[in-house]
């Protein structure tokens, strides 16, 4: 699968840019869009993704695909975990879309999907903190870290991009061969640590407490409340 790289100096959001340019992309290619800086980097629920200039990887992988967005989010998380491990950083995947190093967020993934001329177009946004220093990290309103803070040296953003994009595409092609069965089993293994864990879940509508009893194939988290009732959670923030 051909990879076509696009680099923009300053953009609102690489995900927004990909969606606006969707009709220009070839159907058999992956577009890897990066920016030095995002002025309106986005998280879920329209939250801000801190995107200072020249510090981090702000990447969107955009392509036509019928694969379920959540399966692609799982693949992105697993390949980011693998990428970080290769660079000597052990990260944990936290449902649904975070990678944490000792409880501090190092990566966020934002998966979006839109229809373009009747075809499904996937926009997979990845924000990986690469060279942010302690002062810059302190501006983020939750515990966060970067590759620099974990390893005490800076990384070439271009090398990080090339390495990660190639790894993702390699794993995507492998995953397609067995219909994502290995992705599902690896993902379950990686998230095993969350099972039986007491958690507090915040959805857009309510706050629930309980323990995680399963993560299902549709990407839902199954939470058992203190009264024994099971809640199926599609999207939320999990506090451990």
Distances (CA, A) of 221 to 201, 203, 226: 10, 12, 16
Q: Record the tokens describing residue 230, joined without a space.
A: 């099971």
Contact set with ligand BT5 (CB under 6 A) = 13-15, 38, 41-45, 47-50, 58-60, 97, 105, 108-110, 125-127, 129, 140-142, 144
What is the C-alpha separation between 107 and 140, in angstroms, rounded?
A: 13
Output 208 or 224, the one with its CB closest to ligand BT5: 208
Question: CB 38 → ligand BT5: shortest distance, Å?
Answer: 6
- Give me the residue label for tokens 């800076």: 154
Residue 39 CB partners (closer than 8 Å, separation 6+): 10, 11, 12, 51
Question: CB 139 → ligand BT5: shortest distance, Å?
Answer: 9
Question: CB 111 → ligand BT5: shortest distance, Å?
Answer: 9
Output 32 or 223, the one with its CB closest to ligand BT5: 32
**Of the candidates 35, 29, 33, the residue with the CA atom closest to the CA atom of residue 63:** 29
**Distance linking the first and last C-alpha atoms of the chain:** 39
Output 10 or 229, the one with its CB closest to ligand BT5: 10
Question: CB 8 → ligand BT5: shortest distance, Å?
Answer: 11
Output 105 or 171, the one with its CB closest to ligand BT5: 105
Nearest residue to ligand BT5 by CB is 108
């Amino acid at each position: 699968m051909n990879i076509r790289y696009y680099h923009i100096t300053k953009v609102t959001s690489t995900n927004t840019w990909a969606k606006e340019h969707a009709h220009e992309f070839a159907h058999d290619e992956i577009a890897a869009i990066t920016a030095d800086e995002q002025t309106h980097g986005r998280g879920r629920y329209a939250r801000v993704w801190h995107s200072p200039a020249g510090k981090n990887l702000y990447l969107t992988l955009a392509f036509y695909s019928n694969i379920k967005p959540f399966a692609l989010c799982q693949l992105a998380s697993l390949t980011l975990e693998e990428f970080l491990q290769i660079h000597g950083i052990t990260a944990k995947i936290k449902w649904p879309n975070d990678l944490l190093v000792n409880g501090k967020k190092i990566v966020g993934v934002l998966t979006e999907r839109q229809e373009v001329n009747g075809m499904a177009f996937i926009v997979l946004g990845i924000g990986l903190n690469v060279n942010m220093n302690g002062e810059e990290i302190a501006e983020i309103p939750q515990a966060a870290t970067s590759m620099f803070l974990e390893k005490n040296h800076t990384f070439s953003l271009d090398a990080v991009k090339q390495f990660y994009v190639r790894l993702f595409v390699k794993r995507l092609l492998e995953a397609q061969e067995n219909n994502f069965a290995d992705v599902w089993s690896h993902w379950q293994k990686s998230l095993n640590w969350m099972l039986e864990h007491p958690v507090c879940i915040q959805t857009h509508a309510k706050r629930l407490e309980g323990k995680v009893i399963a993560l299902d194939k549709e990407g839902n988290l199954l939470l058992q409340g203190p009264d024994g009732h099971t809640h199926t959670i599609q999207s939320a923030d999990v506090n451990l």
